[in-house]
Amino acid sequence: MIDSATRLCCLIGHPVEHSVSPQMHNSAFRSLGLNYAYLAFDVPEDALEIAVKGLKALRAVGFNVTIPHKIRVMRLLDELDESAERAGAVNTVANDRGALKGYNTDVYGIERALRKFRLPSSEQAMIIGAGGAARASIIALLNLGFEKILIANRTLERARSLASWIRSMGFFAEACSLEEGRRRAETCGLIVNATPIGMHPDVDEAPLSRDEISRGSIVLDL
């Protein structure tokens, strides 16, 4: 039951109406006996700064960050965990006595999801997208030892920027357009969709067709 002592947690992003985070977190809070409430707030890009300031003023326990704010939110925080600094993106923010600290738990989640498949590190991996989720995916793949990463994106310049970022860390990476990525998908043992394509309400959309993916390839849709 919500009362005057209830603490606020939330998700900020745009859009958020498809998210099941409120159901998941509120169920967990009830099970743990925590007097917390979790809400989802649709925050357009031009309202991000005022939203973060508002959550800080309201002394929210913390909040999750989703598309399209995972990179932009970083400059609004007081501190970054090593996970967020390395990925260059934030998906979780904790309020530590008035100081907002950003974390990236996507990296751990992606690593854990992929580890059980035991894919050879020599397999080429293709990441579709060039935003915060793509950055977390890159760090996860590097942690797992992948040696060849291909970044495919509708905007080629953004794909090139990410590939350059990977190479600056001493790893091999290529960039291509999404159209070229479709042609090269059959050579990839792992494909990660780090774009909003396929999100509610357009759940039948996909960046690749089944015919473009080789049998036996692993596909991770973030």
pLDDT of residue 200 exceeding 90, the answer is: no
Is residue 188 domain-shared with residue 153, that is, in the same domain?
yes
CATH number at residue 17: 3.40.50.10860
Provide the domain limits for residue 84: 7-104
In this structure, the strands spanning 92-96 and 99-103 are antiparallel
DSSP string for 98-129: TEEEEE--HHHHHHHHHHTT---TTSEEEEE-
**Per-residue pLDDT band at 102 (split at 50, 70, 90):** very high
Domain stop point among 76, 104, 132: 104
- 29, 68: one domain: yes
> pLDDT-based confidence at 165, cuts 50/70/90?
very high
Assess whether 140 and 100 both reside in one domain.
no
Mean pLDDT rounded to a whole number for the chain: 96
User: Does residue 70 have an active-site annotation?
Assistant: yes
Angle of CA points 127, 198, 47, to nearest 5°: 90
Task: Tell whether 71 and 166 lie within a shared domain.
Answer: no
Q: Give the mean model confidence (pLDDT) for residues 35-39.
A: 98
For position 121, what pLDDT does the model report? 84
CB 49 within 8 A of CB 76: yes
Q: How many CA atoms lie within 13 A of 151 on its CB side?
A: 29
Both 113 and 176 in one domain: the answer is: yes
Query: Above pLDDT 90, what percent of the chain?
Result: 91
- Residue 194 placed within a domain: yes
Same domain for 113 and 215, yes or no, is yes
190-193 vs 218-221, strand pairing mode? parallel
Quick check: is 97 in a domain? yes
Whether the CB-CB separation of 146 and 178 falls below 8 Å is answered with: no
Q: Are 128 and 153 in contact (CB under 8 A)?
A: yes
Does residue 133 share a domain with residue 207? yes
**93 and 127, same domain (yes or no):** no
Residue 1 lies in a domain: no
Q: Which residue has the tokens 């989640």?
A: 109
Residue 199's identity, in one-letter code, is M
Single residue among 54, 84, 104 that ends a domain in this structure = 104
Q: Are residues 113 and 216 in the same domain?
A: yes
Same domain, 152 and 206: yes
In order, the DSSP letters of 157-207 are HHHHHHHHHHHHTT--EEEEEHHHHHHHGGG-SEEEE-SSTT-TT-TT--S
Give just the sign of the alpha carbon dihedral 51, 52, 57, 61.
positive
pLDDT of 109-156, one tens digit each? 999 999 999 888 888 999 999 999 999 999 999 999 999 999 999 999
Query: How many other C-beta atoms lie within 10 A of the C-beta of residue 182?
Result: 18
Contact (Cβ atoms closer than 8 angstroms) between residue 73 and residue 93: yes
- Reported confidence tier of residue 69, pLDDT bands at 50, 70, 90: very high
The total of other beta-carbon atoms located within 10 Å of residue 74's CB is: 20
Is residue 147, in this structure, part of any structural domain at all? yes
175 with 93, same domain: the answer is: no
Of 77, 104, 131, the position where a domain reaches its end is 104
Asked, for residue 74, whether it belongs to a domain, the answer is yes
On whether residue 2 sits in a domain, the answer given is no
On whether both 31 and 92 belong to a single domain, the answer is yes
CATH, residue 156: 3.40.50.720
Residue of 70, 101, 116, 148 marked catalytic:
70
**Contact between residue 174 and residue 127 where contact means Cβ atoms under 8 Å apart:** no
Strand order in the sheet with 173-177: 173-177, 148-153, 124-128, 190-193, 218-221
Give pLDDT, residue 176.
Answer: 98
Number of domains in the chain: 2
- What pLDDT, on a 0 to 100 scale, did the predictor assign at position 220? 96
- Whether residue 141 lies inside any domain: the answer is yes
